[in-house]
């Protein structure tokens, strides 16, 4: 562990606080590279669940730099992305397929047919079946060795939004079509340019699939995330704060934060 990192146990959750966002991204990239190496050794491939949003951009830049430097190959890596807007074309610059292509897939040696992003063009009548198929593909690949996560300001993970389901129901949610929460669509104005342009539906990997990953890395940086990080780690375990459900599998989750995002942990 680097000298300037702080390791905390917050009511049973493993938390690592880094001095800044760059250091947090580097640590996440270190963990991802180690998981790739271990999974390839144990089962000759590594299956990664990947996230989008502003937070992991520097993680992907770091992974791509390691590839360029010759220290990391993605030839035996299989990826499944967490979510996609719906409907959206893959070449739309706002699609998560495009995001991943720009920030990682086109910069490393991953074979195109090993990258999976939910298809935002599937006809509405087949969207639920396509989502269910995504879960079956992950299972057929032996499950996720790693799920990388970010957190929405309302506590969403992927696009699993706050709900009034029971904990039991919420932790069993499969991959499926969803409506986005007002906090999420408000935050998405940053990407879409105006409120009218924001796509309000999506397909998301379900909480059940996320919680089944063998390791979960939650990355949160910046002061805007401080309140929801504290609510997720210290408030009640409740589907109204989806990230709090990660505490049902706390032993395999690592929260990687920077100091501003950890500010309300006390």
Cα 158 from chain centre: 6
Catalytic annotation present for 101: no
| Two tokens, residue 165 | 């389901």
Q: Is 161 a catalytic residue?
A: yes
Which residues, including other chains, have CB under 8 Å from residue 88's CB and lie 6 or more apart?
94, 95, 120, 121, 199
DSSP H or E stretch at residue 14:
strand 13-18
Residue choice 60, 80, 159, 255 for contact with ligand GLP (CB under 6 A) = 159
Residue 38: CB minimum distance to ligand GLP, A:
25
Q: Is 67 tagged catalytic?
A: no
Q: Does residue 119 touch ligand GLP according to CB under 6 A? A: no
Contacts of 59 (CB under 8 A, 6+ apart): 25, 28, 29, 32, 148, 219
3-state helix/strand/coil string of 42-109: HHCCEEEEECCCCCCHHHHHHHHHHHHCCCCCCCCEEEEECEEEECCCCCCCCCHHHHHHHHCHHHCC
| Catalytic residue flag (residue 129) | no
Could you identify the residue written with the tokens 């986005």? Answer: 180
- On the question of a cis peptide bond just before residue 107, with omega within 30 degrees of 0, the verdict is no
Residue 239 binding ligand GLP, by CB under 6 A? no
- Of 27, 74, 79, 152, the one binding ligand GLP (CB under 6 A) is 152
Q: Residue 38 or 249: which CB sits closer to ligand GLP?
A: 249
115 scored as a contact of ligand GLP (CB under 6 A): no
Interstrand relation of 77-81 and 115-116 (parallel, antiparallel or unpaired): parallel
The catalytically annotated residue of 62, 81, 83, 135 is 83
Among 27, 99, 131, 150, interactor with ligand GLP by CB under 6 A? 150
Q: Which of 135, 161, 187, 259 is catalytic?
A: 161
Binding mask 173-202 for ligand GLP (x = CB under 6 A): -----------x------------------
The 3-state DSSP class for residue 253 equals strand
Binding mask 78-97 for ligand GLP (x = CB under 6 A): ----xx--------------
Shorter beta-carbon distance to ligand GLP: residue 95 or 238? 95
Residues 4-23 contacting ligand GLP, CB under 6 A: none
Given 120, 155, 158, 239, the residue binding ligand GLP (CB under 6 A): 158
Considering beta carbons, is residue 39 or 205 the nearer one to ligand GLP? 205
Closest to ligand GLP by CB, 43 or 224: 224
Q: Of 218, 216, 208, 219, which Cα lies nearest the Cα of 251? A: 216
Neighbouring C-alpha atoms within 13 Å toward the C-beta of 74: 23
Q: Does 52 bind ligand GLP (CB under 6 A)?
A: yes
Tell me which of 13, 25, 55, 95 binds ligand GLP, using CB under 6 A: 55
Residues forming contacts to ligand GLP in the complex (CB under 6 A) are 51-55, 82-83, 150-152, 158-159, 184
Q: Which residues are catalytic?
A: 83, 154, 156, 161
């Amino acid at each position: 562990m680097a000298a300037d990192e702080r390791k905390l146990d917050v009511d049973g959750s493993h938390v690592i606080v880094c001095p800044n966002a760059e250091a947090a991204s580097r640590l996440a990239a270190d963990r991802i590279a180690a998981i790739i190496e271990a999974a390839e050794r144990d089962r000759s491939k590594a299956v990664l669940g990947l996230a989008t949003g502003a937070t992991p951009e520097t993680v992907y830049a770091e992974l791509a730099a390691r590839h360029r430097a010759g220290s990391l190959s993605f030839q035996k890596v299989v990826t499944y992305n967490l979510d996609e807007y719906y409907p959206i074309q893959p070449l739309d610059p706002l699609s998560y397929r495009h995001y991943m292509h720009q920030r990682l897939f086109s910069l490393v040696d991953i074979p195109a047919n090993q990258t999976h992003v939910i298809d935002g063009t599937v006809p509405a009548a087949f969207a639920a079946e396509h989502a269910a198929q995504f879960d079956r593909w992950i299972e057929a690949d032996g499950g996720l060795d790693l799920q990388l996560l970010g957190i929405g300001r309302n506590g969403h993970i992927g696009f699993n939004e706050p709900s009034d389901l029971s904990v039991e129901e919420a932790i069993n949610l499969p991959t499926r079509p969803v409506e986005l929460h007002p906090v999420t669509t408000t935050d998405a104005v940053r990407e879409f340019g105006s409120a009218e342009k924001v796509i309000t539906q999506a397909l998301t990997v379900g909480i059940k699939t996320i919680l089944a990953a063998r390791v979960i890395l939650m990355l949160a940086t910046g002061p805007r995330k401080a309140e929801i990080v504290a609510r997720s780690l210290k408030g009640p375990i409740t589907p109204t704060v989806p990230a709090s459900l990660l505490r049902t599998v706390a032993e395999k989750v690592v929260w990687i934060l920077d100091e501003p995002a950890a500010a309300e942990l006390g």
